Amino acid sequence: MEDYYDIDAILAEDQNVKCAFQSNIPGLAWLEGGHDDALKAGSRFDIPFWLARELVEHDEETVGIDIETPEYFGPKVRNALRADANTVDLTKQCPNFFRFGTVYLQLVDDVALSGVMEEAFKARLQMTMDHTQSGGNSNTTDYLNRLDETERALYKAGMESSASIHQWNQHSFGRIRSASEMLLKRKAT
Amino acid sequence: MALPRHLKNGLTPLEIEFLAENELIEIEAAIDTRTDLELLSGTLPALKPLRTNKVPLWMAISLKKKHKCNIRVPAWMTVEALTRTLKEEETNDVRFSYMPYHYMEIAQLLLENAMDDIPSADATRTLLKDLREARQSKARQGVHSLGESYLQMDNIGLMEINEIRPFFTKAFFEIQKLRPAVAGNPNNNNAYDYDHYGNSSLSMDGRYGGANTTDFDGKASYSSSTIPESSRRFQSTQGSRMN
């Protein structure tokens, strides 16, 4: 797995999904928090996504479970993304929307969702790029709050490169200045 | 490699400036070197006063600082040429108009070090700024057409590429990651085996339906009412937990 040591990928898989178990499973009741021995068929509760994947994908024996589509991948958000991707607040829906979407789609076949996500990502990308090049505008914070983690990383990368070009234009490279820590210290004393 | 983050994205503007200093430029020398100049990159013919010589930009700037030459403004950097390019840039929505690969760096170095050699330097500076903005907005349009395979941008300068590189490459990888489910995608090197689920019934609302599935190679269905093997396994895991 390419992302094995990537802490963001690990965090993305830690989203809870609601699962319905289709058969009795002896010895797993503690997952639900109960003290009985066997997990009853038909019980529904949240488990982390990585656990659900292990249960479904295990090589030797698989457990019959239904993974319910999380709300943020549901029709309401999908329609909002289709209508105007730029206005959807993805942090509120799921902070790792696109990353989790990627791993989710690796397990669950949902062509419609992958289409919606790709289109939404592209549409929002343009907005992100515009913001990186326009510098610090007044409505930036409002817009930054709507970005998910992936987009935020992109925004940061874009900001850094345009800032370095700007610095180069201003000839401020190679000039010797006092470190920002020193300035702070001087102010304090 | 443990590089600081701002060095990981590619070249820094200063490095690009350094590369641009190898471009040749015409100068009128005020000194006579008598012999050919032997440099690591090759031999330059001797500099003679009242003659134009082609030398690397770094040498031109160094001589200029010692008042030993005048730099000839390149043909693309005159006010007329820049006005023409700017007009072309604004009329053509898609393509970039032709500019040298290192135009931003050369223009900046010349404006900085050889102001007195550039007729109407202020107009040149304004035109270059307008040109850059027009091109920048075109590069921004490029995001729109960022597809799964490639992005065509002819005539774009190194500094401009370098500005959008970190953003575009990252965005590109993300887009590729977002379409793993497409069957037979050659870029698909994910750890998960989709064929394994090729037969499973997947209901339209995106649930993973394990109810009436038969496995690919004809194993028993997932939801057999008795789970002989797994029960033992789960019990043993729990046992070890309690210990």
Hey, are the CB atoms on A171 and B112 less than 8 Å from each other?
yes
Q: Please report, for the domain that includes residue B28, its CATH number.
A: 3.40.5.50
Q: Would B146 be classed as within a structural domain? A: no
Residue A88: partners with Cβ closer than 8 Å, 6 or more residues away:
A77, A80, A81, A120, A146
pLDDT at A162 over 90: no
**Number of domains, chain B:** 2
Chain B residues touching residue A101 (CB < 8 angstroms) = 178
Q: Would B98 be classed as within a structural domain? A: no
Neighbours of B89 (CB within 10 A): 21
Chain B residues touching residue A98 (CB < 8 angstroms) = 174, 178
Task: Report the residue of A13, A61, A67, A69 to disrupt the B interface, i.e. the one with the largest count of B CBs within 10 Å.
Answer: A61
pLDDT at B196 over 50: no
Average pLDDT estimate for A156-172: 82
Residue B121 half-sphere exposure toward CB, CA atoms < 13 A? 12
Using 50, 70 and 90 to split pLDDT, how confident is the model at A102? confident
> Measuring CA to CA, which residue among B45, B46, B37, B39 is closest to residue B22?
B39
Residue-number span of the structural domain to which B222 is assigned: 164-237
Whole-number percent of chain B with pLDDT over 90: 30
| A29 and A21 Cβ atoms separated by less than 8 Å | no
Residue located via tokens 């007329």: B80
Model pLDDT for residues A12-46, shown as the tens digit of each residue = 888 888 888 887 777 777 777 777 777 777 788 88
Provide φ and ψ at B77, rounded to 5°: -100, 5
Task: Please tell me if residue A102 touches chain B, with a CB cutoff of 8 Å.
Answer: yes
Locate the chain B residue with the closest alpha carbon to A110: B206
> Measuring CA to CA, which residue among B167, B166, B165, B108 is closest to residue B132?
B108
Locate the chain A residue with the closest alpha carbon to B201: A109
Task: Please tell me if residue A171 touches chain B, with a CB cutoff of 8 Å.
Answer: yes
* Separation of alpha carbons B135 and B221, rounded Å: 59
* Separation of alpha carbons A55 and A60, rounded Å: 10
Residue located via tokens 């070890």: B240
Q: Would B195 be classed as within a structural domain? A: yes
Hey, are the CB atoms on A22 and B211 less than 8 Å from each other?
yes
Neighbours of B203 (CB within 10 A): 11
Q: Among B72, B97, B114, which residue terminates a domain? A: B72
Hey, are the CB atoms on A160 and B12 less than 8 Å from each other?
no
Q: Would B9 be classed as within a structural domain? A: no
Model pLDDT for residues B72-85, shown as the tens digit of each residue = 999 999 999 999 99
Residue B204: partners with Cβ closer than 8 Å, 6 or more residues away:
none
Q: Among B72, B87, B112, which residue terminates a domain? A: B72
Q: Would B58 be classed as within a structural domain? A: yes
Average pLDDT estimate for B13-31: 91
Specify the pLDDT at position B147. 63
Q: Would B91 be classed as within a structural domain? A: no
Hey, are the CB atoms on A160 and B6 less than 8 Å from each other?
yes
Q: Would B198 be classed as within a structural domain? A: yes
Specify the pLDDT at position B66. 93
Neighbours of B12 (CB within 10 A): 18
Chain B residues touching residue A64 (CB < 8 angstroms) = 210-211, 222-223
Q: What does pTM read for this prediction?
A: 0.70
Of the partner residues A108, A160, A164, the one whose CB lies closest to the CB of residue B206 = A108
- pLDDT mean across residues, chain B: 74
Neighbours of A32 (CB within 10 A): 16
Q: Would B159 be classed as within a structural domain? A: no
Of the partner residues A65, A101, A158, the one whose CB lies closest to the CB of residue B167 = A158
Hey, are the CB atoms on A110 and B112 less than 8 Å from each other?
no
Chain A residues touching residue B144 (CB < 8 angstroms) = 122, 126
Model pLDDT for residues B126-180, shown as the tens digit of each residue = 999 999 988 888 888 777 776 656 677 788 889 988 888 888 888 888 888 876 5
Task: Please tell me if residue A100 touches chain B, with a CB cutoff of 8 Å.
Answer: no
Of the partner residues A23, A129, A171, the one whose CB lies closest to the CB of residue B167 = A129
Model pLDDT for residues A56-86, shown as the tens digit of each residue = 877 676 677 888 888 888 888 888 888 888 8
pLDDT at B221 over 90: no
Strand residue runs (E) in B20-169? 24-29, 37-39, 42-44, 52-56, 69-71
* Separation of alpha carbons A68 and A20, rounded Å: 8
pLDDT at B182 over 70: no
Chain A, 42-81: which have a CB under 8 Å from a chain B CB?
A: 56-57, 60-69, 73
Provide φ and ψ at A102, rounded to 5°: -65, -50
